[in-house]
Amino acid sequence: MALEITDSSFQEMVLKSDKPVLVDFWAVWCGPCRTLGPIIEEVASDFEGKAVVGKVDVDNNQEISMQYGIRNIPTVLIFKNGEVVDKLVGVAPKEVIAEKLSAHL
């Protein structure tokens, strides 16, 4: 299951992670985000133990959203060693997301 990441847990869960981290920036009211949600959950399950998969609700965590310039949602960022190494904006098929995450394992 994808982890809930907040402004206060972001540094510990994402920036200090020893594994690649996929972060889905989303909001409850966003239709495409609801489409992407189950895909993110599947990716979380598939990569369990190999990568961290989490979600940031942009309405409740504006500090992190602003820091990373999230203007459109859903936006998926992939972090490795505390740095953004890849980005997807909009809904993408599971295969595309898994391939991008696999490239950073």
Residue 11 is given by DSSP the state I
Nearest to 7 by CA among 54, 62, 70: 62
What residues act catalytically? Answer: 30, 33
Count CB atoms within 10 A of the CB of residue 90: 12
Q: What is the pLDDT of residues 79-102, one digit of tens each?
A: 999 999 999 999 999 999 999 999
Burial of 8 (0-12, 13-18, 19+ CB in 10 A): exposed
Q: What is the pLDDT of residues 1-58, one digit of tens each?
A: 999 999 999 999 999 999 999 999 999 999 999 999 999 999 999 999 999 999 999 9
33/88 Cα distance (integer angstroms): 13
Joined tokens for residue 11: 């540094």
pTM of the model: 0.97
**Ramachandran bin of 65, using left for φ above 0, alpha for ψ from -120 to 50, beta for the remaining angles:** alpha
Say what angle helices 31-46 and 94-102 make with each other, to 10 degrees. 50
Domains identified in the chain and CATH numbers: 3-103 (3.40.30.10)
